[in-house]
Structure 1
Amino acid sequence: MPRRRPLVIGHRGAPGYRPEHTRSSYDLALALGVDAVEPDVVFSSDGVLVVRHENEIGSTTDVASRPEFAARRTTRAVDGVELTGWFTEDFTWAELSTLRCRERLPALRPGSASFDGAQPPLRLVDVLDIVRAASLERGREIGVVVEIKHATYFESRGFDVAGAVAAQLTAAGWGAGELPLYLESFESTVLRRVRDLGIRGSYVYLLESSGSAYDLVAAHGRHAPTYAEQAAPGGLDVLAGIVDGISVDKRMILAPDRLGRASGPSRVVGDAHARGLRVFTWTCRPENAFLTPQFRSGRGKAAFGDYEAEWRIIAAAGVDGVFADHPDLAVGFFH
């Protein structure tokens, strides 16, 4: 059943204020009252689940300034997109732990960038332990939403993605359902595989507003269904037999028209609820750079626009969870 108020999920912690996926980012999100936090996971060369938004880490760590790692710079095709930089799968966890994190969007978030160079990357187990301790300290259950990144890509490089996720969740005491766990991915194949390994949690399929899932493209080529087709009633009928929920790009709810003006809320949330699926959306951000044009104020991309007007449309849609970069603003609005 839909929640009376949506979960507020700290998207990579509290990256509006601290570099994403750092200890201080998660600590701040928890202090600001989130219901859950969201770590993205990628792999080190020795199979450790590392918490980074992407496996390319040139813009989110100081690796580019480390002469001992200069030769690791390379070019890879990740999900069909060619990228040049430094990739987590070329480093052991011991090597990655010597790096220091940086703000990914320093021009938009200079306050966060002031904390550059102060903190090492985290492993999934570190975030799980942080949240367990915070739940005990604060006397309330706090969830973790684990996003599995680039599963087909990592499998092509020899990693047992589902097996590693299941093993590391189990070892950390998060695999048996005692604590609120959500597993999400833009690829439904890996979610089915993790579920088949007995990990108890809620499985959530991420949907972009355009394009197709890479696991489906790898399997079916040009015949792969699009995300839009999967979000349509017939596609949701199929997903209802595979996952517990969907997490949609906010554009799919706001439904901007040809002039870029929001015409939503669209029917996607109601259609999903009618099939017993929960619906999350991403990402609630206040800066002009991320808002639908009609809600922008002033000239600067970093300035806060009329984000509450945009969020009112999202709330009216009846979503079950929102991902937010500024947890205090989201908790204040949605709770």
Structure 2
Amino acid sequence: MRRNMALISCVLFTVMLTSAVVSVSAGRPLTYPLPSSVPLGEKQVLQTFRAYNVAHRGSNGEFPEETAPAYMRAIDEGADFIETDIQATKDGILVCNHDVTLDDTTDVADHKEFADRRTTYEVQWVNTTGWFVVDFTLAELKTLRAKQRYDFRDQQYNGKFQLITFEEYISIALDAKRTVGIYPEIKNPVFVNKHVKWSDGKKLEDRFVETLQKFGYTGSYLSEDWLKRPAFIQSFAPSSLVYISNQTKLPKIFLIDDVTIRTEDTNQTYDVITSDSYFNYIKDYVMGIGPWKDTVVPPLENYLQRATDLIAKAHALGLQVHPYTFRNENSFLHFDFHQDPYVEYDFWINKMGVDGLFTDFTGSLHRYQEWTSSSEKQTLQKIASMVSSFKRG
């Protein structure tokens, strides 16, 4: 039996290695052409029968986050959705960037011409100092180059890629050879609307929805239109999700942080807004929640403790649950998973029953789901049978 398992493991390793070699040899594009050059037509449909593989800021375990190559790599690795954060520039253009500041993910500190832009603003109840997206025009942002957020990840692409706009991000998804969904976040809307003003009196949420509609993202969940242009809208600000509910039928996901943190817009702790009464209110505006995974299963000294009832409560109300963020590095894995991200995926998908996962490593989640699908299990059983027959012979 041990010999059989060793042979099976060898086959799996060979398949994995071959896939990796093919993927790398295909090359990693450094720029992204616009407008779309891929002809419209029938594409492979989005999978909806298993938990969604959401590329958190693209494949940012490999490339600087929220850049074109990070998203293109995630699509190549099997992402169902590519996720991003939407903010606005000084001149009102919507761009992809997670932080309200540019300090940790760009080379802005190296640009002497922007030295006087460093300032302090209050952001989510805390004074924050840095170079802020809202103080730069799009043309100025395009002179910056992205860098890897974490120093323990690959640094070779630092300084090579520009920040991208919301429209460029959408075009990347639409240019994919198969149907790939988008998962944009209305990021820090209270802060952005305070510092960026549009001449027609509209605000970030309005421009956000208008952009989606411009590219044909209009359908309700699982409708024919949605399956052609799949999208989830997410935000930590519940009032933004309520505000746009009359503007778009697209499914909305309410993000949930640590229960002690206050929302930017309503000044309620997430402990309050995960209560039964609040869930009964927000369920009329959203189709799911996106909780920080440590809010769902709190850790103590890096070991998981008893799970909360958050998932059960959401599912009882018909809400999906898409927790964040799954990362392969040991520093992000609780001891229960023994430095094995596949064990963590198995726990959240099969034991906790989540409906989607935000991951920095799209390829590993895709491989896990392919290996554990019914067809792959049948293949492994056939391999085991062949090995057994070979041994008897």
What is the TM-score normalised by the length of structure 2? 0.75
Q: Does 1:34 pair with 2:79?
A: yes
Note the 1:157-306 alignment, pairs <5 A.
Answer: 157-159=195-197, 160-175=203-218, 178=225, 179-197=229-247, 199-210=248-259, 211-217=261-267, 224=268, 226-256=269-299, 258-295=300-337, 305-306=339-340
Q: 168-177 vs 314-323, which deviates more?
A: 168-177
* Pairing partner for 1:321 from 356, 372, 375: 356
Report if the CA contact (8 A) 1:61-1:99 is conserved. Answer: yes
The number of residues matched between the two structures is 309
Report if the CA contact (8 A) 1:232-1:268 is conserved. Answer: no
Inter-partner Cα distance in structure 2 for 1:259 and 1:117 = 37
Report if the CA contact (8 A) 1:175-1:200 is conserved. Answer: yes
Report if the CA contact (8 A) 2:359-2:365 is conserved. Answer: yes
Inter-partner Cα distance in structure 2 for 1:62 and 1:170 = 33
CA 1:320–1:64 in structure 2 vs 1: closer, same or farther (change >3 Å)?
same
CA 1:70–1:331 in structure 2 vs 1: closer, same or farther (change >3 Å)?
same
The answer for the alignment partner of 1:65 in structure 2 is: 110
CA 1:132–1:75 in structure 2 vs 1: closer, same or farther (change >3 Å)?
same
Report if the CA contact (8 A) 1:254-1:264 is conserved. Answer: yes
Inter-partner Cα distance in structure 2 for 1:44 and 1:101 = 16
Inter-partner Cα distance in structure 2 for 1:46 and 1:167 = 17
> What's the offset of the Cα at 1:293?
4.0
Q: CA RMSD in A?
A: 1.7
Q: Secondary structure at the match of 1:39?
A: strand
The answer for the alignment partner of 1:152 in structure 2 is: 190
Query: Per-residue CA shift, 1:206-249, capped at 9, x if unaligned?
Result: 001222211111xxxxxx3x212322333322221221110011
Q: Secondary structure at the match of 1:234?
A: helix
Inter-partner Cα distance in structure 1 for 2:290 and 2:213 = 24
Report if the CA contact (8 A) 2:252-2:288 is conserved. Answer: yes
Report if the CA contact (8 A) 2:124-2:263 is conserved. Answer: no
> What's the offset of the Cα at 1:312?
2.6
The answer for the alignment partner of 1:143 in structure 2 is: 181
Inter-partner Cα distance in structure 2 for 1:247 and 1:156 = 26
Q: Secondary structure at the match of 2:357?
A: strand
Query: Per-residue CA shift, 1:292-324, capped at 9, x if unaligned?
Result: 24445xxxxxxxx22233333211111111000
Inter-partner Cα distance in structure 1 for 2:78 and 2:207 = 30
Inter-partner Cα distance in structure 1 for 2:333 and 2:156 = 24
> What's the offset of the Cα at 1:37?
0.5
Q: Percent identical across equivalent pairs? A: 30
For structure 2, the residue ranges without an aligned partner over 5 or more in a row are 1-47, 198-202, 371-393
Inter-partner Cα distance in structure 2 for 1:172 and 1:28 = 22
Structure number having the greater strand percentage: 1
| 1:66 counterpart letter in structure 2 | H
Inter-partner Cα distance in structure 2 for 1:30 and 1:117 = 22
Report if the CA contact (8 A) 2:92-2:196 is conserved. Answer: no
| 1:153 counterpart letter in structure 2 | F
What is the TM-score normalised by the length of structure 1? 0.87
Inter-partner Cα distance in structure 2 for 1:289 and 1:259 = 13
Inter-partner Cα distance in structure 2 for 1:254 and 1:176 = 33
CA 1:90–1:259 in structure 2 vs 1: closer, same or farther (change >3 Å)?
closer
Higher relative contact order (CA 8 A, sep 6+): 1
* Pairing partner for 2:160 from 110, 118, 123: 118
Report if the CA contact (8 A) 1:8-1:331 is conserved. Answer: yes
Q: Secondary structure at the match of 1:309?
A: helix
The answer for the alignment partner of 1:330 in structure 2 is: 365
> What's the offset of the Cα at 1:265?
4.5
Report if the CA contact (8 A) 1:45-1:90 is conserved. Answer: yes
Report if the CA contact (8 A) 2:342-2:364 is conserved. Answer: no
| 1:326 counterpart letter in structure 2 | F
The answer for the alignment partner of 2:60 in structure 1 is: 15
Report if the CA contact (8 A) 2:118-2:130 is conserved. Answer: yes
CA 1:196–1:272 in structure 2 vs 1: closer, same or farther (change >3 Å)?
same
